[in-house]
Amino acid sequence: MADLAVPFLELYADDAQAFAVFRTFMARARQNFLPGMHSVQRQMRLLGTALQRVDSQLHRHLAATGAGSYVFAFQMLLLQLRREVSLPDTFTLWERMWASEELLTAARREQRQLQHQRQRRGRSALRGLRWRPASTTAEAASQQGGPTGAAAAEPPAPPPSGGGAAEAEGGLQQGQGVAPAPARGVPEAPATEADGGAERVDLCVYVVAAALRAQRRALLGCHSMEEVVQFVNRFPPPGNVVALVRDAERIYRACEEGDGGAAVGPLRILSGCWRPHQQPLPATAGGSQAWAAPP
């Protein structure tokens, strides 16, 4: 963790300020440090899937040397390439990475929401009269409004059949009223949280994939897992970290395309986020209480 704190201590002269920012940073990064290291292990698997998709020759070679579990990338993933990249480059890399992560995450949420709407529409047409009561839908809308609020407003969703209350409240609640988790009868709040977690784009994984790909010739020259570990632990610093993030975005998109066509171009991404005036948090919360009372 000391490695991760260095950039913040370097950036802020005031230790208290550095601590505050580091704390915010760790709120997200802490899952990588939980016992069992499940988060990093998931990232190692994701890295394998990503490389297999964009550079199957490299993936096959690594697997053949016995490094197919990508344990050698553990340090890169855990410390977000802090040790591989110089300090000035770390500022650039992390800033680019986080900004891109936000944009891609917003776009992905929007995309998922659209998909769910389509599915839901199809299902509701089939189910006909067995539609759930409006009050439950409204509750779900309020729950959903919290963490994933930013992505909702875009699609002009047609009113769900029977959801009268949602119709009255306008486009935003409609969009959220058709959220998938409550529709399946799963407890609302935890499901929403889990959805948000799963949807978050781990761009770091793709940045590591891009860094490995940039050194593919050297990696292809390694004949054993030991050599791979040795090489990666003395990884040559990437020359251009901006290009590295760009490559990472490309790899991410290539993987998403294979994942059922959820890929989105950069312009689309920009249109899908940063609309603070449409943040529905307080309004929705009040609305849901009002709806919850009359059945």
Residues that bind another protein (CB under 8 A): 2-3, 33, 35-37, 40, 52, 56, 59-61, 63-66, 69, 71-72, 74-75, 78-79, 83, 221-227, 229-230, 233
DSSP annotation of 200: S
Give the C-alpha separation, 211 to 102, whole Å.
21
User: Which C-beta is closer to another protein: that of 73 or that of 241?
Assistant: 73
Q: Using CA of residue 180, residue 292, residue 280, residue 170, what is the dihedral sign?
A: positive
CB of 244 to another protein, least distance (A): 20
d(CA 287, CA 295): 14
Smallest distance from the beta carbon of 207 to another protein, in angstroms?
A: 17
Q: Which is nearer to another protein, 39 or 92 (CB)?
A: 39
Which CB sits closer to another protein, 36 or 294?
Answer: 36
Task: Locate all alpha helices (DSSP H) within the chain, ordered by sequence.
Answer: 2-11, 15-29, 38-54, 56-65, 74-78, 87-127, 134-148, 164-169, 171-177, 180-183, 188-199, 203-214, 216-220, 225-233, 241-258, 266-271, 281-292
For residues 150 and 255, which CB has a smaller minimum distance to another protein in the complex? 255
Q: Which is nearer to another protein, 42 or 83 (CB)?
A: 83
Other residues' Cβ atoms within 10 Å of the Cβ of residue 210: 25
Nearer to another protein, 80 or 284 (CB): 80
In the numeric block, which tokens belong to residue 18? Answer: 């550095």
Contact (CB, 8 A) for 160 and 123: no
Strand positions, DSSP E, the chain: none
